[in-house]
Amino acid sequence: MRVNHSGEVCAQALYEGQAYMSRDPALVAELKKAAMEEQEHLQYCATRIEELKGRTSYLNPIWAAGAYGIGMVAGLCGDKISLGFLAETEYQVVRHLEEHITKLAPEDDKSRAILLKMREDELRHATTALASGGIRLPRMIRHLMAMTAKIMTVTAKYI
């Protein structure tokens, strides 16, 4: 759950950075709404980590700052690219959550319920971003995003 928590730290910061750079009031509202849902996910994860007697990543402030900056850069690239970045981010998160769900202990219904709810919301964010005009990013960018996410997830697991 620590990795999922760190992912939600990143997601809400990413959307805030994108919203800061967008000039379209409707898109800003959409990004702010998504950021609020990511805050809810963050709270779900934090509560579950506490119940499991775990801890959050010590690197969360770094993840947040980096994600905010990446969101600003994506926002500077224009709304179509920014929305495409949002969609790809969420599709990668959905794949991560699906993998994580398969690794849960069969009796861990609480964690499973949290991750299924997050998966549903993340998938909706992705499809909404594309329906709002987002474009599919080039394969190289998607691959770079996946590599960056892998570094973050492995690091957050331990630190």
User: Burial, 125: exposed, middle or buried (Cβ in 10 Å; 0-12, 13-18, 19+)?
Assistant: buried
Q: How far apart are CA 51 and CA 62, in angstroms?
A: 25
Name 30's Cβ contacts closer than 8 Å, sequence gap at least 6: 128, 132
Domain span at 108? 2-158
What's the CATH code of the domain at 68? 1.20.1260.10
* pLDDT tens string 5-34: 998 999 999 999 999 999 899 889 988 988
Average pLDDT of every residue of the chain = 92
* pLDDT tens string 83-120: 999 999 999 999 999 999 999 999 999 999 999 999 99
* pLDDT tens string 48-71: 999 999 999 999 999 999 999 999
**Domain tally for the chain?**
1
